[in-house]
Amino acid sequence: MDETGFPDESGAEAPGLMSGGGAAAAAPNDGAYRVLARKYRPKTFEDLVGQEPMVQTLENAFDTGRIAQAWMLTGVRGVGKTTTARILARGLNYEIPGAADKPTVKLTQEGTHCKAIMEGRHVDVIEMDAASHTGINDIREIIDAARYRPATARYKVYIIDEVHMLSNAAFNGLLKTLEEPPEHVKFIFATTEIRKVPITVLSRCQRFDLRRIEQSKLIGLLRRISDAEGIQITDEALMLIARAGEGSARDSLSLLDQAMAHGSGAIEADHLRQMLGLADRARVIDLFGHVMAGRIEEALGELQAQYEVGADPAIVLTDLADFTHLVTRMKVAPKSADESSVTEAERARGREYADELSVRLLSRAWQILLKGVQEVQAASKPLAAADMVLVRLAYAADLPDPGELMAQIRSGQTPMAGSVPSGGGSAPTGGGAQAMAVGMSHGSGGGGNGPTMQASARPQLSAIQGGMPAQQVSPQVAPQPDVQPAPAYNLKNLHDCAALASEKRDIPMKVAIQRQMRLVKFEPGKIEIQPTEDAPADITGEFGRKLTEWTGQRWFVVVSRNQGRPTIHEENEANQQQLLSDAKSHPTVASLLAAFPGAKVVDVTVKVSEEADAALADPMVSDPLLSEALGDDEDD
Choose among 455, 474, 468: nearest CA to 400.
Answer: 468
Do the strands 156-161 and 125-129 form a parallel or antiparallel pair, or are they unpaired? parallel
Ranges of CATH 1.10.8.60 domains, the chain: 215-276
DSSP string of 398-467, one letter each residue:
TPPPHHHHHHHHHTTPPPPPPPPPSSS--PPPSS-------EEE--SS-TT---EEE--SSTTSPP-BTT
In a 3-state reduction of DSSP, which class is residue 218? helix
CB atoms within 10 A of CB 503: 15
Answer for the pair 183, 148: CB distance below 8 angstroms, yes or no: no
User: Which residues lie below 8 Å from residue 339, measured CB to CB, with a gap of 6+?
Assistant: 216
What are the angstrom distances between the C-alpha of 191 and each of 135, 388, 522, 545?
A: 17, 40, 59, 49
**Distance of alpha carbon 54 from alpha carbon 561, whole angstroms:** 56
Q: Where does CATH 3.30.70 sit in the chain?
A: 494-565
| CATH number of the 277-424+432-470 domain | 1.20.272.10
Q: Residue 187 forms beta bridges with which residues?
A: 70, 158
CA distance 294 to 437: 8
The pLDDT score that the predictor gives to residue 125 is 93
Confidence label for 465 from pLDDT (cuts 50, 70 and 90): very low
pLDDT at 89: 92
Domain 215-276 is found in CATH 1.10.8.60: yes
**Gap between the terminal Cα atoms of the chain:** 106
Second-level CATH architecture of 494-565: 2-Layer Sandwich (3.30)
| Alpha helices (H) in 269-381, listed in sequence order | 269-276, 281-292, 296-308, 313-332, 344-356, 359-378
- The pTM for the full model equals 0.52
- CA–CA distance, 353 with 463 (Å, rounded to integer): 15
Most confident of 181-185, 444-448, 601-605: 181-185
Q: Per residue in 53-70, pLDDT tens? A: 888 898 899 888 889 999
What pLDDT score was predicted for residue 417? 45
Q: What is the 3-state secondary structure (H, E, C) of 78-144?
A: CCCHHHHHHHHHHHHCCCECCCECCCCCCCCCCCCCHHHHHCCCCCCEEEEECCCCCCHHHHHHHHH
CATH code for 36-209? 3.40.50.300
CATH 1.20.272.10 segments of the chain: 277-424+432-470
Delimiting residues of CATH 3.40.50.300 domain(s) in the chain: 36-209
Looking at 36-40, 202-206, 454-458, 625-629, which range is the least confident one? 454-458
Per-residue pLDDT band for 606 (boundaries 50, 70, 90) equals low
Strand partners for 209: 74
